[in-house]
Amino acid sequence: MGLPIELTYLAASILFILGLKGLSHPETARRGMIFAEIGMFLAIVGTLLHHEIISYEWIIAGLIIGSLIGGGISIWVPMTAMPQRTALSHAFGALAASLVGISEYYRHGVGELGTFKMTALSLEVLLGGITVTGSLMAFIKLQDWIRGTPITYRGQNISNMSLLVLTVVIFLYLIFDPTAHTLFYTMAGLAFLFGVLLVLPIGAADMPVVMSLMNSYAGLAAAATGFAISNNVLIIAGTLDGFSGFILSILMCRAMNRSITNVLFGAFGAETAALADGTIGVMREVSAEDVAVQLAYAGQVIFVPGYGMATAQAQHAVRELANILVARGVTVKYAIHPVAGRMPGHMNVLLAEANVPYSSLYDLEQINSEFPATDVAVVIGANDVVNPDARDNPKSPIAGMPILDVDKARSVVVLKRGKGKGFAGIENPLFFKPNCGMLYGDAKSSLIKLAGAVQNA
Ligand code: NAP
């Protein structure tokens, strides 16, 4: 490989690292994205300069097909379906890695594949295969094409583990005997099957953790591809992708007080839905007019968005209500729980889309001490992330999950459509507390009503 190509790859790798660093904060995220895009462009240019390329026609055909699929997805899939979009991207990325692995194996004469190259190739196909079908299953569940709740059956964990062990044994065998063609293709088939079986028992709301794990596998598959075809930029980019996905999965699990094994093998939604139920008092319904008076004369109001804000697409309506309150001299802050919504950064992305300034967004650790001095906490379609049972009841299925202490505010107003439960499927004692009022209705229309009523207050 020539020096110009290596230098292009080096520049691309540096830009990927800068991109990743930029993505770690909302204010630098756009710049980070631009760095990463330039990096990807350089990596492609470097690859196209490669003397091994025999036909540019196929590359152009692939470029056109890929652009059409990518463009189509970005046009037709709405922001609320971002998890589905991410699942599809992972499936395509991993499919590319698997196909490269399979074609490299097919292309090489049996004697040419040494231990190192065979290990890289097999790993690429193994991780790639699991990611392709696992991500597609995640997409199908999130899209509600099949039941989103965990699909379980007797002996599921044992049969899945046996299948995984068999696949890994074949993988190890192939390292020592790359000539076993049938076994190679069997391993590829088993990896595709395992992806489906791995995701079947996982509830739709756990899918973001699974997807960031899939992201991690896809990255590691790409890194293995880099080793298999001796491409440095693929090794670096794949490793960055693989480990950042893994760290993200761990952070999400920690914020939910769950372990990764519990997410993968616990069939969470199925278990807990049956665990906690039963009324614990009376919920007090309030009217938009009453809430508007409280808001209009408050010193500080904290908005607490959750999954319901995303489904109602209420982010612009929140911003408009906030503008009206700020114009009246009310201090407005937004409390962002790390796992509010259905994917990391879900609330940040939606509020940024509505031009809510980053300086008004506060993390759980920053804002919790402020609730006792807050006049009104407005919970917008959030449930689990404000459930005081996680803090106060050690027997709760979500015990230990850090929550936003909205119940400590002088007054709490919860905007939700009815008595629906959150992702954990459990009752929320917050709704029965004397300082809590329920404003029923779709979050967006409730916020629009509130904005009108505050103006008249
Ligand atoms: P949540 O607990 O899922 O509760 C959402 C609430 O929104 C529901 O109680 C629902 O009640 C209400 N709602 C739904 N549509 C609405 C609409 N159009 N208007 C008004 N309200 C609406 O949400 P959360 O508090 O954000 O908690 C997130 C949960 O997801 C956590 O348990 C977390 O562990 C889990 N999770 C998050 C991530 C992540 O990365 N963010 C990943 C995996 C899992 P009604 O039906 O009565 O309206």
The residues, any chain, with a CB within 8 Å of residue 264's CB and separated by 6 or more, are 198, 202, 210, 213
Atom of ligand 1 nearest to the CA of 382: 25
CA separation for the pair 115, 144 (Å, rounded): 43
Contact 309, 347 (CB under 8 A): yes
Q: Are 199 and 187 in contact (CB under 8 A)?
A: no
Residue 307 CA to ligand 1 center (angstroms) comes to 4
**Is 384 annotated in the active site?**
yes
Quote the ligand 1 centre to 339 CA distance (angstroms): 10
Residue in the structure block whose two tokens are 């980019």: 237
pLDDT attached to residue 74: 83
CA 439 – CA 442 distance, rounded (Å): 9
**Hey, what long-range contacts does 25-29 have (CB within 8 A, 24 or more apart)?**
26/348, 26/352, 26/358, 26/361, 27/358
Pick the closest to residue 444 from 153, 119, 1, 80 (CA basis): 80
From 212, 248, 285, 342, give the residue whose CB has the most ligand 1 atoms within 8 Å, as the site to mutate: 342
Q: Which of 379, 417, 445 to mutate to test the pocket of ligand 1 (most atoms within 8 A of CB)?
A: 417
The tens-digit pLDDT sequence of the chain (457 residues) is 678 889 999 999 999 999 999 988 878 888 999 999 999 999 999 988 887 777 889 899 999 999 999 898 888 887 667 778 888 999 999 999 999 999 999 988 666 788 898 999 999 999 999 999 999 999 998 888 988 778 888 999 899 999 999 999 999 999 999 999 999 999 999 999 999 999 998 876 677 788 888 999 999 999 999 998 888 999 999 999 999 999 989 988 888 777 888 777 765 444 444 444 445 678 999 999 999 999 999 999 999 999 999 999 999 999 999 999 999 999 999 999 988 987 778 899 889 889 999 899 999 999 999 999 999 999 999 999 999 999 999 888 888 889 999 999 999 999 999 999 998 888 999 999 999 999 999 999 999 999 999 998 8
Q: What is the pLDDT of residue 204?
A: 61
CA 126 to CA 192: how far, in whole Å? 8
Sorted by sequence, the CB contacts under 8 Å of residue 376 that are 6+ apart come out as 291, 294, 295, 298, 301, 302, 409, 410, 411, 412, 413
Look up the pTM and report it.
0.79
What is the Cα–Cα distance from 127 to 419, expressed in whole angstroms? 42
- Burial track 154-187 (b if 16+ CB lie within 10 A, e otherwise): eebeeebeebbeebeebbeebbeebeeeebbeeb
pLDDT at residue 266 in the model: 63
416 Cα to the center of ligand 1, angstroms: 10
List phi, psi (to 5°) of 346: -55, -50
CA-wise closest residue to 266 among 194, 203, 339? 203
**Residue to substitute in 258, 336, 383, 449 for testing ligand 1 pocket (most ligand atoms within 8 angstroms of CB):** 383
Q: Which residues line ligand 1 (CB under 6 A)?
A: 205-206, 208-209, 252, 256, 306-308, 311-312, 339-344, 346, 381-385, 415-424, 442-443
**pLDDT computed for residue 275 by the predictor:** 43
What's the farthest any 2 CA atoms get from each other in the chain?
Answer: 83
Catalytic residue among 206, 241, 384, 405, which? 384
Distance CA 152, CA 204 (A): 13
Distance (Å, rounded) from C-alpha 288 to C-alpha 444? Answer: 13
